[in-house]
Amino acid sequence: MAQRFSRRSGSFSRVALAALALSLVAGCGFSTPSNGGMRTGTEAELTARLSDGQKDAAVIVSTSGPAQIGKLAEAGMDIWGVDGKRVIGSITQRQYQTIKRLKLEVTYLPGKSGLDNSFDPGYHSNAEMIDALKALASRYPNLARLEDFGDSWEKKQGGKGNDLWVLKIGKGDTSAKPGVIYLGLHHARELVTPEMVLNLAKHLLEGYGTDAEATHYVENREIWLVPMVNPDGHALAEQGSDWRKNTNSSYTNLQPGHGPSGPGVDLNRNYGYKWGGPGADTNPKGATFRGAEGFSEPETAAVRDLVRQRKWSFLMTYHSFSNLILWPWGHTNVAPPDNRLPAIGKKLGEFSGYDPKQSVSLYPTSGDTTDWAFGELGILSYTTEIGTWGDGFDPPYSKVPQFWNENRPGSLYMLKLADNPSAVFGPELKTVKVQNGQFNASASGALTDVEFFVGKPGKEGTGTRLNASGLNASGMLPPSVMTEKQLLLVHARGANGQWGPFEAVWSR
């Protein structure tokens, strides 16, 4: 969604582009700011570059804020990144006319076309991702199953195309258990996003039986993971294309190429709730083209049908970049009618170090995943924008461990809260230890009650009580619990009367 500030390839380096953006000054007209010796183009050069109506150009645009940024998105600007009121991205003649009509300041970056990308071989190709998912399902047959839930646009046309895959994790009958669904790669070039979904699957399955938290989630949740919503587009990204949309060529006579001015539908503008509103383009060549109608694309229709199969507590969709946690609404400035959304979003921001905010505060969008999931189905839904401007869409694969460390706590936190999202307002236990039958727990706020359950959570107030005093709680485990290694789930109630989320620990 919010997009890149730089690329690793091309004549402008990540650091140089970031420095250039920071050098911009407010004003109107054509800008040639001080930039440490890097040349920026003239207005005549930009006009000449865009004169045939086909070429694109990399620019930085200064705006008055989200409303004008939304106008640029509606005009089809390929927005790479947003820095407050400044936007960097790729434009064609059509978007340049919008910029001039709005009388916005623009800086032309003639050495950067924005049409290239780098695909580090460490990233999973479509085929490699499917192999990895199949390997997990084969290795853990009692905990995971892999299902084909739909076809990509190209496959629907009878071409090679791709299947859409979901890995479902959970032990036993999961139909009545709290559920969380994770989605990656709505936008083809956002290479790190499928890796986050795959890493979560590995973390849960490989940790089962040894990691108490992972074991709790596998046994007491239903978890669905979709690493790639847009595999057709990803196939282009694997070839070095800076591709965003799917590859639906039925709207134009163009064929998929390397830049934003080509065929395809922006899948994150194609969901049916409030489809056709702000921040989505009506021109098929635009980077944010919304499609003919909501759910016109087989990929979004398949996700819709998948999500509708059961009730969900949370939906997380991963994008890049900008280090943001976003929640509905994106189509309106009105706050969402659920105070849990910002409360949990701020916690996700604390865990990741990312900036949490309502989606519309970045710039208005419509037809996106989270507005639909929350607006139509009532699912608490979030977008995570991974990476900095310096990372862009195609960071080296060596950055993936860092991104996973940033996002692992938040992805697990949603699983923690899935049985009771309102637990975000209760106390969170910071330490929980069991040693020689002695149970000790502590929190950052005063505790009025602490209890634990064996194996799975029970009704609040019906568990085995521990002695709570101030910030701490303690007690001896019953002998029946100490005879073998068992999963213990403990939570606490604070002075506000709210119970907090469960923490998992082994009895021995």
CA 403 to CA 365: how far, in whole Å?
Answer: 25
Query: Which amino acid would we find at residue 374?
Result: F
According to DSSP, the β-strands at 472-476 and 438-443 are antiparallel
Query: Which amino acid would we find at residue 335?
Result: A
What are the CA-CA distances from residue 247 to residues 195, 252, 297, 306 (Å)?
A: 22, 11, 10, 21
Among 400, 386, 391, smallest CA distance to 353 is for 386
Among 181, 168, 173, smallest CA distance to 137 is for 168
- Residue 335 per-residue DSSP state: P
Catalytic residue chosen out of the listed positions 213, 222, 385, 503: 385
Q: What are phi and psi of 450, to 5 degrees?
A: -140, 135
> Bridge partners of 490?
452, 503
What are the CA-CA distances from residue 396 to residues 6, 127, 233, 250 (Å)?
A: 13, 20, 19, 34
State the distance between the two ends of the chain, measured CA to CA, in whole angstroms. 45
Residues 260/279, Cβ–Cβ less than 8 Å:
no
Q: Which bin fits 229, alpha (ψ -120 to 50), beta or left (φ > 0)?
A: alpha
> Bridge partners of 475?
439
What is residue 43's three-state secondary structure? helix
| Active site (annotated) includes residue 385 | yes
260 CB burial (10 A radius; 0-12, 13-18, 19+): buried
Residues 113/259, Cβ–Cβ less than 8 Å:
yes
Among 230, 244, 264, 242, smallest CA distance to 129 is for 230
* The two three-digit tokens of residue 82, written as one number: 């947003």
- Please count the other Cβ atoms lying within 10 Å of the Cβ belonging to residue 331: 24
CA 245 to CA 387: how far, in whole Å?
Answer: 20
Residue written as token pair 């923690």: 416
Catalytic residue numbers read 385
